[in-house]
């Protein structure tokens, strides 16, 4: 009995040992996590995994202390997401290899001096959607470590977002510790005018490549504003109060992308030789694009001119620039063209030299006049668009003349419809028939009436009106000048 019990126990024990050993190997952490990590405040509140600390929307109301940050060292965090919390004050963060720090949507009002001093590997700092004000956001917030070459830089910093805060103006030295910044987002701040100090702040960023100033209530772009950032490639000044294309844009010699959407721009022609992408949508005052207006854009590839409800005319030569000899025209090689939802009644075939070279095109939802001037759209453009995307022309619909209203250009193409011409006086062909009939009836009625009147007049019926009949006239004539007498003189 004893022997069997012992062997049974041994068997059970070995099973337990084996299974617990199995569990031990499977439970062993895959990364070299610090066992003490779970004890620190940060990973209790957030999700710590790999090199990411995810504290998104955890109702955190107090910023972590320096000690708590320092306890995180074993994790070697490179991405820390603290967005969507209730932190009002940012304080100093420990020496950590963080590259991306997200402090978006935290109601932040104040950033203590040199809070990011020890984040020497930080490239991206998102401070968007907070409550930073011009008065309280100090240049010292971005102070780095002492460096013999530069003034206490945060040397790795490339992307900074201050979008959607309450900045009326920027401190002129705000970026003095961020000398290598390439991307800056100031969108959604009530700047209204770019004052002198703001201009100095932006001018202190020589490496800037991307600048976003959407919805900043700007009424103008001052001179010299874009003079220093010589490498600027992308500029978004949409949803402002600009009434003309800013002259200052010509200072940006390397601009590739320009967004002017939602500005009440009436006119102006940007001359940006390298520009590849232009957005001019939702511009409520744009009525026409005149000859040569876009001719300065020699390298344009993507043109977005949509949702301009008053845009009624685009000159056939809007993109064409006279060549060097002045004998013919050159066009940019446009690859994408978006002209949907404007008020265009026609699109001239000469606007582009080769429609079949477009990679993407949308001209739908315009009140097209379907006559001989737009026949090319039915014959040429519809097949080009349909070849890229079936049914993409579904919203290319005739609005005029009245008997064509509602037909899609695709349908007209399917039935090989040849459309008549509306003459240059604006007469519509469908009215010509009615006019002809009217004229005919007029003539038919006029002849008998005239004959009757002639007869009555001949017989002197209009004497009471002071009109003599032809009888009196001929009598007087014969009395005064007999033909034979005058001949003899």
Site of interaction with ligand NAG (CB under 6 A): 19-20, 23, 29, 33, 35, 37-38, 56, 83-84, 88-89, 100, 102, 104-105, 110, 113, 124, 126, 140, 309-310, 312, 343, 345, 390-391
Tell me the closest approach of the beta carbon of residue 200 to ligand NAG, in angstroms. 19
Which residue, 118 or 251, has its beta carbon nearer to ligand NAG? 118
Tell me the closest approach of the beta carbon of residue 50 to ligand NAG, in angstroms. 13
Name the one residue in this structure whose structure tokens are 């025209």. Answer: 329
Which residue, 320 or 347, has its beta carbon nearer to ligand NAG? 347
Tell me the closest approach of the beta carbon of residue 207 to ligand NAG, in angstroms. 19
In DSSP notation, 393-462 reads TTT-BEEESGGGTT-BHHHHHHTTPPPPPPPTT---HHHHHHHHHHHHHHHHHHHHHHHHHHHHHHTTTT
Which residue, 224 or 309, has its beta carbon nearer to ligand NAG? 309
Look at strands 368-369 and 398-400 and give their pairing.
parallel
Tell me the closest approach of the beta carbon of residue 441 to ligand NAG, in angstroms. 32
Which residue, 56 or 231, has its beta carbon nearer to ligand NAG? 56
Tell me the closest approach of the beta carbon of residue 368 to ligand NAG, in angstroms. 10
Nearest by Cα to 124 from 165, 84, 81? 81
Tell me the closest approach of the beta carbon of residue 124 to ligand NAG, in angstroms. 5
Which residue, 214 or 276, has its beta carbon nearer to ligand NAG? 214
Which residue, 103 or 272, has its beta carbon nearer to ligand NAG? 103
> Is residue 260 within 8 Å of residue 233, measured between CB atoms?
no
Residue 146 burial (CB count, 10 A): 10
Which residue, 111 or 255, has its beta carbon nearer to ligand NAG? 111
CA angle, 165 then 212 then 96, to 5°: 65
Tell me the closest approach of the beta carbon of residue 303 to ligand NAG, in angstroms. 21
Cα distance between residue 231 and residue 486, in whole Å: 99
Token pair, residue 430, equals: 């469908």
Nearest by Cα to 51 from 26, 68, 28, 34? 34
Cα distance between residue 322 and residue 209, in whole Å: 31
Torsion angles phi and psi, residue 250, rounded to 5: -70, -10
Cα torsion through 405, 411, 413, 414, rounded to 10: -150
Helix (H) or strand (E) run with residue 84 in it: none
Tell me the closest approach of the beta carbon of residue 316 to ligand NAG, in angstroms. 17
Sign (positive or negative) of CA dihedral 200, 201, 204, 209: negative
R_g of the chain, CA atoms, integer Å: 40
Which residue, 110 or 376, has its beta carbon nearer to ligand NAG? 110
């Amino acid at each position: 009995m004893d022997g069997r019990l012992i062997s049974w126990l041994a068997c059970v024990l070995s099973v337990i040992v084996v299974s617990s050993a199995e569990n031990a190997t499977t439970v062993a952490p895959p990364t070299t996590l610090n066992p003490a990590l779970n004890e620190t405040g940060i990973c209790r509140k957030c999700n710590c995994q790999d090199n990411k600390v995810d504290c998104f929307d955890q109702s955190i109301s107090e910023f972590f202390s320096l000690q708590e940050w320092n306890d995180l060292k074993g994790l070697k965090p490179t991405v820390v997401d603290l967005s969507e919390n209730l932190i009002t004050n940012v304080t100093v963060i420990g020496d950590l290899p963080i590259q991306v720090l997200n402090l978006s949507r935290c109601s932040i009002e104040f950033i203590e001096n040199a809070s990011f001093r020890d984040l020497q590997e930080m490239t991206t700092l998102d401070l968007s959607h907070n409550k930073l004000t011009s008065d309280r956001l100090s240049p010292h917030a971005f102070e780095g470590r002492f460096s013999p070459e530069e003034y206490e830089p945060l040397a790795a910093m490339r992307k900074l977002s201050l979008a959607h805060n309450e900045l009326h103006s920027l401190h002129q030295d705000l970026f003095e510790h961020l000398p290598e910044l390439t991307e800056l987002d100031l969108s959604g701040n009530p700047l209204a005018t770019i004052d002198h100090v703001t201009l100095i702040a932006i001018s202190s960023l020589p490496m800037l490549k991307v600048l976003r100033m959407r919805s900043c209530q700007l009424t103008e772009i001052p001179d010299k504003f874009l003079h220093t950032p010589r490498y600027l490639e992308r500029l978004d000044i949409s949803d402002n109060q600009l009434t003309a294309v800013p002259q200052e844009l010509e200072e940006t010699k390397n601009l590739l992308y320009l967004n002017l959407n939602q500005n009440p721009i009436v006119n102006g022609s940007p001359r940006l030789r390298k520009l590849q992408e232009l957005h001019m949508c939702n511009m409520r005052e744009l009525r026409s694009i005149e000859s040569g207006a876009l001719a300065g854009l020699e390298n344009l590839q993507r043109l977005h001119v949509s949702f301009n409800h008053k845009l009624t005319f685009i000159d056939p030569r809007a993109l064409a620039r006279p060549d060097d000899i002045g004998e013919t025209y050159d066009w940019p090689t446009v690859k994408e063209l978006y002209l949907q939802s404007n008020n265009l009644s026609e699109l001239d075939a000469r606007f582009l030299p080769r429609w079949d070279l477009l990679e993407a095109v949308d001209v739908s939802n315009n009140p097209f006049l379907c006559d001989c001037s737009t026949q090319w759209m039915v014959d040429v453009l519809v097949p080009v668009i349909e070849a890229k995307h079936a049914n993409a022309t579904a919203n290319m619909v005739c609005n005029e003349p009245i008997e064509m209203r509602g037909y899609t250009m695709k349908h007209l193409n399917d039935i090989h419809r040849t459309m008549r011409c509306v003459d240059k006086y604006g007469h519509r062909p469908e009215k010509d028939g009615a006019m002809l009939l009217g004229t005919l009836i007029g003539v038919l009625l006029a002849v008998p009436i005239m004959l009757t009147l002639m007869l009555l007049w001949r017989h002197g019926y209009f004497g009471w009106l002071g009109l003599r009949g032809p009888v009196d006239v001929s009598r007087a004539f014969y009395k005064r000048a007999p033909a034979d007498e005058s001949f003899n003189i």
